[in-house]
Structure 1
C-alpha cells in the first residue's frame, strides 16, 4: 500500500499539470457557465416556470455529468493508466523501481480518481449553489447535493476501474470505450425490463431519485430503478472486480513496444 501511495502522489502531481487535466477541468465547468447564464436571464426577464433552477439542475446539469462528463473522464484517464506508459516507452522505469505491478495500477488509479473527483465535485457543487441560492437555508437542499456528489463519485470510480481494466489488454481501447459509452450505456439503459440492468448507468440513475414536485426528470425516463442498496453494492462490486482484474492482467501480461 505504501508503494501504491507513492505512485499516487507522484502521478497526481504530474496529472495536475497536464494539458488534458486543464481541458477536462474547463469542460467540467460548462454547467457552471450555463447556470450563471440562466440566473442572468432570470434577473433580466420574467423567470420561465419550465426553466426553474431545479428543473435545469435535474435535466441539464445532472445528465451532463452522468451521461457525458463522467464517461469521458473515466475513459480517457482510465485507458491511459497503462497505455501511456507503453506508448511513451516509460514502462521499464516503473517496473525497475522494485514496485509490484498491482501497486502501479492501484497508485495511478488513485491519482487519476483524485483528479476526476475534484473536477466533478467542484463543477456539480458550484452549479447547484448558483441554481439553488435561494434555498441556502434549506437543509434538504444541502443533503440533495451531497447525495448527488456521492453518487457521481461512486459512478466515476466504477467507470474508471472498468476502463483501467480495458486499457490493460486492448490497444484501441479509446474507440471501444466510446462505443460502450455512447452505444451501450446510453441506449441499453432505456430498454424495458431486465435488459436495462445490464448497463452500469442503470444503477447510477437508480440512486438519483426524481426531485419532489418535479413533473419530469430526464434521468428517470423509462427507468425501472433497482433498490438503492442493490445499486450501491453493484457499483462497489464492479469497481473492485474491474480493479482487481486490471491488476491481475497487468501482472501477467508482457507489453511489447511497436516501432
Structure 2
C-alpha cells in the first residue's frame, strides 16, 4: 500500500484542500446540515419521514456531491492551472501513484465532511430509527468515493472543472437524479442508495437501481475515472517535455 502513496503529494493535497477558502466551504455545508437537523427535530420531533427527506433530498442529493466537487477538483485542478504540478511530476514518481495519492486524500476529506455529519444528523433527526442514520452515512461514504474519482478526473481534463462539477452536482444529481425516472439509473446518488437500502430497515430507504448493478457501476466508474486521470496526467507531462 505504501508504494501507492506518495507522502509529498499527500501533504500538498491536504494543504490545498484544507486551505482557508476550501476549508470554509467544507465546514459550512456540514454545519448547515446539522443546523437544519436540529431545527427540524425541535419543530417536528423524531419523525422517520422527515428524516428521510432531509437526509435524502439535502444531504445525499446536494451536500455530498458538492463536497465531492470541492475535494475532487481541488486535489489536482489548481496545481495544473498554476503549473505547480510540474514540480511534483519532476520527482521520480509514477503518475499513477500521484493520482492514487490525491484520490485517497480527496476520499478521506470527502468522507469526513460528508458521511460523519450525515451520521450525526441522522441520530439527531430520529435517533437512528429504521437504521436511517447508518444507511445514509454508508451511502454518503460510498458516493464520496465515486464523486472524488469523477471530479479528480474532471480536474485533469479542463480548467472549468469546478463549474462543470457544480452543474453536475446541482442539476443532474439534485434535480434529475432525484426526480426524473430515466436519469436515476445513471446517478451516483441512486447507486449509493442501493447500498443504503440494504443497510436500512426494510422499506426505509429505496433506490431505482438494484444492489448488484449499483456495486458494479460504482466500481467501474471509480476505476475508469482513476485510470483516465492517470493517463491524462501522463500525457500532460509528456506534452510539457516536448
What is the CA-CA distance between 1:16 and the residue it aligns to? Answer: 3.6
Q: Which string of whole-angstrom CA distances, capped at 9 and with x for unpartnered residues, describes residues 121-142 of structure 1?
A: 2211211222234x6xx7x53x
1:119 to 100, 113, 122: 113
Corresponding position: 1:205 with 2:193 = yes
1:243 Cα deviation after fit: 0.8
* Structure 2: distance between partners of 1:120 and 1:152: 6
Correspondence for 2:86: 92
Q: Does 2:35 match 1:33? A: yes
Residue aligning to 1:236: 219
Q: State the shift of 1:5 in Å.
A: 4.4
| 2:61 aligned partner | 67
1: CA distance, partners of 2:111 / 2:184:
26
Q: Work out the CA distance in 1 between the residues paired with 2:39 and 2:68.
A: 28
* Unmatched 5+ stretches in structure 1: none
- Decide whether the 8 Å contact of 2:178 with 2:184 is kept in 1: yes
TM-score using structure 1 length: 0.77
CA distance in 1 between counterparts of 2:134 and 2:104 reads 21
The 8 Å contact of residues 4 and 106 in structure 1, kept in 2 or not, is answered as yes
- Output one character per residue of 1:64-102: Cα deviation in whole Å (capped at 9) or x when no partner: 121111111111221233321123331122112222112
Where 1:168 maps in the other structure, the secondary structure is helix
Larger Rg: 1
| Aligned residue number for residue 180 of structure 2 | 191
Greater mean alpha carbon deviation, residues 15-24 or residues 232-241: 15-24
Whole-angstrom CA distance in 1 between matches of 2:170 and 2:38: 28
- Segments of 5+ residues of structure 2 without an aligned counterpart are none
Q: Give, in whole Å, the separation in 2 of the partners of 1:63 and 1:190.
A: 10
Distance in 1 between residues matched to 2:33 and 2:184, nearest whole Å: 27
Higher helix share: 2
- Of the candidates 133, 136, 161, which is equivalent to residue 173 of structure 1? 161
Q: Does 2:148 align with 1:160?
A: yes
Aligned equivalents of 1:205, 1:121: Cα separation in 2: 13
Match of 1:56 in 2: 50
Give runs of ≥4 in structure 1 deviating > 6 Å.
none
**Distance of aligned partners of 1:13 and 1:68 in 2 relative to their CA distance in 1, 3 Å threshold:** same
Answering whether residue 236 of structure 2 is matched by residue 247 of structure 1, we say no
How far 1:239 moved relative to its partner?
0.7
Give the 3 Å change call, closer, same or farther, for CA 213–232 of structure 1 in structure 2. closer
Contact 1:8 1:109 in 2 (8 A): no
For 1:213 and 1:152, how far apart are their aligned partners in 2?
Answer: 19
Instruction: State the alpha-carbon separation in 2 of the partners of residues 67 and 189 from structure 1.
Output: 7
Q: 1:201 to 1:29 in 2, by over 3 A?
A: same
